[in-house]
Amino acid sequence: MTTVKILGLADLHSRGRLAINSLIQIAEENVIDLVAVAGDLTNFGKSEKVKKVLVELDKINKPLFYVPGNMDSEDSDNIEFSNVKPLHGKARNFQGLNFLGLGASNPTPFRTPNEVPEEMLSLLLGKALDEKPNDDPIFLISHTPPLDSEADKLRGGRHVGSFSVRDFIEREKPVVVLCGHIHESKSISMISETLCVNPGPGAHGNAVIIEVKLDEEGKASAKADFIEF
């Protein structure tokens, strides 16, 4: 049995400050293998600001996969250095898991910098799937949550997630989906066989530890626990 422990973050919306020492301590105490960041590292930040946040997160000194969110600029989707690897429309294998990434968001009423049509989200998911190097279980990092889930509800109860992400989950059955975007929908839930996690906004000190267990045949199971920093 192999265990992979992931520190999951989303919606940091950093304006230059980040409680990095707390995150380092969490990573050390929980023996984290990987950091996954599901978008909105900044508030309307250009790529230079996104990189500054990633430089801070790199101090955790663990492999880090990230996707940009709708509040990060379009040109922030391919920043790579040290432990940091971009995952928007890409796939990377790590310790027996295929990590696939989807940044940006479906359209919102707010005209944020990095919104794309559902058709583009679907194409990007297909591109990431095509890059998958083998049949290892999938771990999806998506800024946008799946439609009609616990992770995509506004305060009034309306669901505003992506039907492309939902369709991907129903077809490909990833073991985990880490998402964000909808701050008020902090949740851990199941969509069929998939663990769906919205950790809540990192800007308010929210994070999650996700533990994936792989048996000798490569079958995966997962659990998640919220944590604050």
User: Helix or strand or coil: residue 118?
Assistant: helix
CB contact at 8 A, 124 and 81: no
CB contact at 8 A, 99 and 91: yes
**Beta strand 97-102 with 138-142: parallel, antiparallel or unpaired?**
parallel
Q: How many domains does the chain have?
A: 1
The count of other CB atoms within 10 Å of the CB of residue 56 is: 18
Helices of type H across 139-221: 163-172
Q: Is the pLDDT of residue 16 over 90?
A: no
Taking only the tens place, the pLDDT of each residue in 126-158 is 999 999 999 999 999 999 999 999 999 999 999
Taking only the tens place, the pLDDT of each residue in 91-100 is 999 999 999 9
Q: What is the 8-class DSSP label of residue 137?
A: P
What is the overall mean pLDDT for the chain? 98
Q: Could you tell me the CATH number of the domain that includes residue 16? A: 3.60.21.10
Residue 35 has phi, psi (to 5 degrees) of -110, 130
Q: Which amino acid makes up residue 173?
A: K
- Residue 223 CB partners (closer than 8 Å, separation 6+): 195, 210, 211
- Overall pTM > 0.95: yes
Please state, for a pLDDT cut of 70, what percent of the chain lies above it.
Answer: 100
How high is the pLDDT of residue 42?
98
Give the pair of three-digit tokens for residue 143: 């800024």
pLDDT bin (cut points 50, 70, 90) of residue 213 is: very high
Q: Is the pLDDT of residue 209 over 90?
A: yes
What would you report as the CA-atom Rg of the chain, rounded to the nearest whole angstrom? 16
Domain that holds residue 16: 2-228
